[in-house]
Structure 1
Amino acid sequence: MEATNMDSILFDLGNVLVHYDHKRALSALAALYGVDAEKVLHLYQEIAPAFGSGRIEPEEVVDLFNERFGAERSLEQFAEAFCSGLARNDAALAYAVSLRQEGELAIGVISNTNALHVAWLDDHAPELKEFDLVMMSNEVGMCKPDPEIFELAMELLNVPAQRILYIDDLEENVEAARKLGMTGVVHSDWAQTRRQIEAWRAARRHAVRPQ
């Protein structure tokens, strides 16, 4: 994509464009294996960095859980429980798509995720196919707040940091984007975030208007 003459908005996914309830997923996995949710959490924390950066595959994760908890669960059973905390945010996805359809902005996503969540998103959030950039940590081998993942996004979009607004629900990720020169918004609710997006857009229009 050639977006040199465009500004860009990059979104996080979890709890920004898509709902994610981590406790619900942990509870579902605990029920699947008949163990305490705290044990599930500890095991997941062991493998999360490797799973999130694509260094291990879903089948290996299931094998590890099965071995640790002395059970035989299928990949399908595991995936259903693991993804149970995900849900569409229809309004947020529609808003992001509307920004893309205006034709004035390059719209993208940078997400710390994993192969199972990506498969869920492929099935349940087809709107992402309309975006200019969808960057999943497990597919690029990097996770936020590593500055290299933001630098790769800028390279692929061909948009400099000063022309990008980055939105994430985690302060550390927003701060990493800001250090590279992007404008950053820490998302907490969509009413506030939409006001901040529109304020940024107005400022950008003023900045590029011929004097």
Structure 2
Amino acid sequence: MTFLFDIGKVLLDFHFEPSLATLLPPGTDNGHERLSVLLEKKDDFEGGRISVADYVPWAIERLGSPVNEADFLHAWRNIFTPNKAMWQVVESLAAGGHQLILFSNTNGIHCPWIFETYEVFRHFGGAVLSYETGSIKPEPEIYHHAITAHGLKPAETRYIDDLPANIETGKKLGFRSWQYDLNDHPAFERWLAAELMHG
């Protein structure tokens, strides 16, 4: 059986703002506004349309804070918390011989760093990452890329993601999809048990 796993809010929880806020000068009163500006180009960055070399200086300039590139990269990466309940599922599926593929909107600052940092990723035999494909979920193009690159049959592929729009595209293309809620992992476990039972 083949499984497509999103990363954020599925394998890893994340919170951008607390970490990026450490880059702002003490006493900054419009910190939220400054940080939200960084997300203006997030889709272009994750879609591979802006390189790390271009995005980082732009982001530092928009922050208006005298930070260096190393500090910025550290803060951008230091946003994740392992979702250990899902890690146990991944280990079990891998041990059962299932094919596991990452399917994520991400960027060249987080990857390959997260793969080297979090051991759960060793269980995945493939990855479809937005910044490498030039398209982002929920755009159909990245789903078609996954299908072609990994020879997927959507009707036989289980797809787990936290965002409704992404799941919607997955369903339209025939994937057996589950919208994951970090706060209700048992619901996912019940769905998975049924899927494994029925093949």
Structure 2-normalised TM-score?
Answer: 0.88
> What is the CA-CA distance between 1:68 and the residue it aligns to?
2.9
1:33 positional shift: 10
Instruction: Describe the shift of the 1:31–1:157 C-alpha distance in structure 2 as closer, same or farther (beyond 3 A).
Output: farther
1:30-45 → structure 2 map (5 Å cutoff): 30=24, 34=28, 36-45=30-39
Instruction: Report the AA paired with residue 171 of structure 2.
Output: R
Distance in 1 of aligned mates of 2:141 and 2:27: 37
Cα 1:11–1:71 shift into 2, 3 Å: same
- Are 1:184 and 2:192 matched, yes or no? no
**Structure 1 residue corresponding to 2:198, chosen from 189, 199, 203:** 203
Q: How far, CA to CA, are the matches of 1:146 and 1:138 in structure 2?
A: 13
Tell me whether 1:139 sits opposite 2:149 in the alignment. no
Deviation per CA, 1:27-55: give whole Å up to 9, x if none: 33445895633223332122111111122
3-state SS of 1:134 partner = strand
Alpha-carbon distance in structure 2 between the residues aligned to 1:43 and 1:78:
15
Once the two structures are superposed, the pairs formed by residues 101-120 of structure 1 within 5 Å of their partners are: 101-103=95-97, 105-120=98-113
Asked if 1:56 is matched to 2:72, the reply is no
Distance 1:181 1:51, change over 3 A: same
Match of 1:209 in 2: none
CA contact (8 A) 1:97 1:131 kept: no
TM-score, scaled relative to structure 1: 0.83
**Helix, strand or coil at the partner of 2:109:** helix
User: Is the CA contact (8 Å cut-off) linking 1:174 and 1:186 kept in structure 2?
Assistant: yes
Q: Deviations over 1:75-110 (max 9, x none)?
A: 21001111222122233223213202211x211111
Larger deviation: 173-182 or 88-97?
88-97
Q: What CA deviation, in whole Å up to 9, does each residue of 1:106-138 have, x standing for no partner?
A: 111111111111143123223323312212111
SS of residue in 1 equivalent to 2:49: coil
Equivalent residue number for residue 73 of structure 1: 67
C-alpha distance in 2, partners of 1:73/1:29? Answer: 7
Unaligned runs of 5+ in 2: none
Seq. identity, %:
27
Q: Following the alignment from structure 1 to structure 2, what is the Cα–Cα distance between the partners of residues 97 and 162?
A: 23
Rate the CA distance shift 1:66–1:45 in 2: closer, same or farther, 3 A.
closer
- Alignment partner, residue 148 of structure 1: 141
Consecutive unaligned residues of structure 1, counting only runs of 5 or more, are 1-6, 205-211
Are the aligned partners of 2:105 and 2:129 in contact in 1 as well (CA < 8 Å)? yes
Counterparts of 1:111 and 1:26 in 2: how far apart (Å)? 21
CA RMSD in angstroms comes to: 2.1
Deviates more, 1:124-133 or 1:76-85: 124-133
Partner in structure 1 of residue 167 of structure 2: 174
Paired with 1:148 and 1:27, the residues of 2 have a C-alpha distance of: 34
Q: How does 1:149-164 map to 2 (within 5 A)?
A: 149-164=142-157
Runs ≥4 residues deviating over 6 A: none
Deviation at 1:17, TM superposition (A): 0.6
